[in-house]
Structure 1
Amino acid sequence: MTMSAPPATGVRTPWGAIPEPVRQAVADLLGGPVVEAVTQTGGFSPGPAARVRTADGRRAFVKAVSAEGNPDSPDMHRREARNSAALPAETPAPRLLGMHDDGNWVALVFEDIDGRQPHVPWDERELARVLDAVGELSRTLTPSPVDVPPVGKALSRAFRGWQKMLDEGHGAGDRGEGLDPWTVRNLRALAELAAPWAEFASGDTLAHGDLRADNILLTAPENAPHRVLFVDWPHAQLAAPWFDLLVMLPCVRVQGGPDPEVLFTEHPLGRAADPAGVTATLAALAGYFVRQSRRPAPPGLPTLRAFQRAQGDAALEWLRKRPGSGLP
């Protein structure tokens, strides 16, 4: 499959457009005025994201959002701050240096990592590094060192996508606009297949919950011990060890990666997973992406819905190939 997802981008606000009191608060956290700020692209955030340098040479990565830009984003940054601050030192993730929260603007200041996002379309060797790191991340964070919601609670509403579409009448021919005929015919079967997902996906591993290329940084070999780092932790939750791997692979597929069924079943985390539980959770994930993709775009995130639809299509393609799914 060729890459079919749009870029994972929000509408970034330049550093200079951030209110002066917020920029001053960041300067206070860093111990000096910011003299250079380079905006970073990628990621689904409508706020500024910049690598900054202070007058005395200190470097950091700053991300900020306001309620005006997107009303949901400040709370996501607050969750990310709580989760990031609680991560143990051995976690391959940037260290949180500080936070500013004035009730409207929330700014997070992280250590600056000398790294880059993986190449997209995926490079085979980089993908192998990342998949190995996902396995190590699961081992490092089991049992979870952070108090976060269990996956069945965190995603109880989001992962009922197929059932919600049935309740909304999308299974009846005249309400299936934008859905392929196979999905419309099998909507009830998909809802039934996904229904028990939470009992299988539950566990005591701290899952990132949103692994994609734009949430991963690769450093040069000399920057050991962490050559793969995972950023953006607002969606952290307690889950099965294989949950992050499963959530990640539809996105890998639409960004030029190999068959997700092969990647999952050949990975140590996938080999140890209950096949029926994986199928149920994959069905729930597909329903989430497809239903979300049909909603209006949120403020500042113009490519999000198309990106979700691409992941939903990839998840469905994977699901239809899985043995024992019972789907025609």
Structure 2
Amino acid sequence: MSLDVNPYGPPASGSRVPWERVHPAARAGVEEFLGAPVAEAVTQSGGFSPAAAVRVRAANGRRAFVKAVGPQPNSEAVAIYRAEARNAAGLPPSAPAPRLLTSFEAAGWVVLVFEDVAGRHPATPWRRDELDLVLAAVRRMSAELTPAPIPAPTVGDGFAESFTGWRRLLGEDTTGLDPWALRHLDELAGLESGWAEVAAGDTLLHADLRADNILLADGRVYVVDWPWACVGAAWFDLVCMLPSVGMQGGPPPDELLPDPDPAVTMVLAAVAGYLVRHGRLPAPPGLPTLRPFQRAQGVVALGWLRRRTGWS
């Protein structure tokens, strides 16, 4: 094996925009809010969005974490950041998330200013002590956010277009598709088709949990990046998260969620179909590592689904 191959999957990273390339009007807005010019700006790695993610220190000593995105190279990112601003502003203090201090738009850029958390992402390969800490926090978060404290789409509406992977593959070129998946494509499409009904619930979900969306600081867990928040079954976040845990050196999903509930299997079918199909698509503008990351998760999700169904 080549020494530059990561055995725990491709990195969750995009093309970060350095602070000096953020539009001057957006930078000026941040400095006005902080009350002084930015004296130090340190770009943070992790995450896929083609945007700025910067820990800043103003000349007066105030610190903040700033996310900022413009209409290029991916115009969809602006709408995503608007959704995150809306969701983050409404999260209750009990949510394990950094506090949004302010948000604004300037010259076509969307800017979010959060409290600065001096944390780090969980280690990968996952350490079991950190994983246990995170899983406990995710379960507490689900309890704290039931019923959902803010308006948000249902999970069925939020993922209606995304969770159709197997059904779309029925009409697409399947060259190179996993042989087991190809053999059971009709059955997988049928299993996937009922996911939204069984995933319904009244819990506010993050809906995009991965190591790069989690910070650890002083024994606390912070969940960041909330643009996809929606309302559904409390266990949905865990089902979506576990393929990335397995891909990044953690225990197999079966060990962490042995629940035999058929509803879990149906949602897993939808998750696996999403990851497998999207991993076959061209990279979106400005997100060069997204498809390899999805493909690697898809391998884990598909293996988990195969074991849960028992189909030969």
Q: Same fold (TM over 0.5)?
A: yes
Which of 232, 235, 254 is the aligned partner of 1:239? 232
Q: Which residue of 2 aligns with 1:313?
A: 299
Higher mean C-alpha displacement, 278-287 vs 179-188: 179-188
| Structure 1 position 162, deviation (Å) | 0.4
Q: Percent identity?
A: 54
Alignment-derived partner of residue 205 in structure 1: 203
Task: Decide which moves more: 17-26 or 134-143.
Answer: 17-26
Q: Deviations for 1:107-166, whole angstroms, at most 9, x for unmatched residues?
A: 111000021110011001000000000100000000000100000111111111100111
Corresponding residue number in structure 2 for 1:27: 31
Task: Find the residue that maps to 1:116 and give its secondary structure.
Answer: coil
CA contact (8 A) 1:12 1:47 kept: yes
Question: Where do 1:107-126 residues align within 5 Å?
Answer: 107-126=111-130
* Residue 78 (structure 2) pairs with residue 74 (structure 1): yes
Q: Distance in 2 between matches of 1:103 and 1:80?
A: 19
DSSP-derived class of the 1:81 partner: helix
Question: For 1:27 and 1:103, how far apart are their aligned partners in 2?
Answer: 16
Match of 1:165 in 2: 169
Q: Which amino acid aligns with 2:265?
A: T
What letter matches 1:316 in structure 2?
L
CA displacement at 1:318 relative to structure 2: 0.4
Query: Which residue in 2 is equivalent to 1:88?
Result: 92
Provide the rounded CA distance (Å) in 2 between the counterparts of 1:83 and 1:103: 22
- For residue 238 of structure 1, give the secondary structure of its aligned residue in structure 2: strand
Task: State the 1:17 CA deviation.
Answer: 1.1
Equivalent of 1:254, from 227, 239, 247?
247
Instruction: Report SS of the residue matched to 2:48.
Output: coil
- Does the 8 A contact of 2:43 with 2:55 survive in 1? yes
Q: How does 1:220-239 map to 2 (within 5 A)?
A: 220-221=218-219, 227-239=220-232
Name the SS for the 2:255 alignment partner: helix
Aligned length: 307
Q: Distance in 1 between matches of 2:79 and 2:160?
A: 19
Query: Alpha-carbon deviation of 1:103?
Result: 5.9
User: Is the aligned partner of 1:285 residue 2:289?
Assistant: no
Q: Is the 8 A contact 1:217 1:228 kept in 2?
A: yes
| 4+ long deviations beyond 6 Å | none
Cα pair 2:103 2:113 within 8 Å, conserved = yes
Match of 1:55 in 2: 59
CA contact (8 A) 1:26 1:100 kept: no
Code of the residue aligned with 1:48 in structure 2: it is A
Q: Which of the residues 14, 18, 21 maps onto 2:22? A: 18
Quickly say closer, same or farther: Cα 1:215–1:7, change in 2 above 3 A.
Answer: same
Deviation for aligned residue 1:256 = 0.2
- TM-score normalised by length of structure 2: 0.96
Task: Give 1:123-202 correspondences, 5 Å limit.
Answer: 123-168=127-172, 175-202=173-200
Q: In structure 2, give the amino acid aligned to 1:118.
A: P
The corresponding residue for 2:311 is 327
Q: Is the 8 A contact 2:67 2:112 kept in 1?
A: yes
- For residues 54 and 177 of structure 1, the distance between their equivalents in structure 2, rounded to whole angstroms, comes to 54
1:236 counterpart letter in structure 2: A
The normalised TM-score by structure 1 is 0.91
| 2:44 is the counterpart of 1:43 | no
Structure 1: state its 5+ residue gaps: 169-174, 222-226, 266-270
Aligned partners of 2:196 and 2:179: how far apart in 1?
28
What displacement does 1:194 show? 1.1
Residue in 2 that maps onto 1:106: 110
Task: Give the aligned residue type for 1:262.
Answer: E
Structure 2 unmatched runs, 5+: 1-5
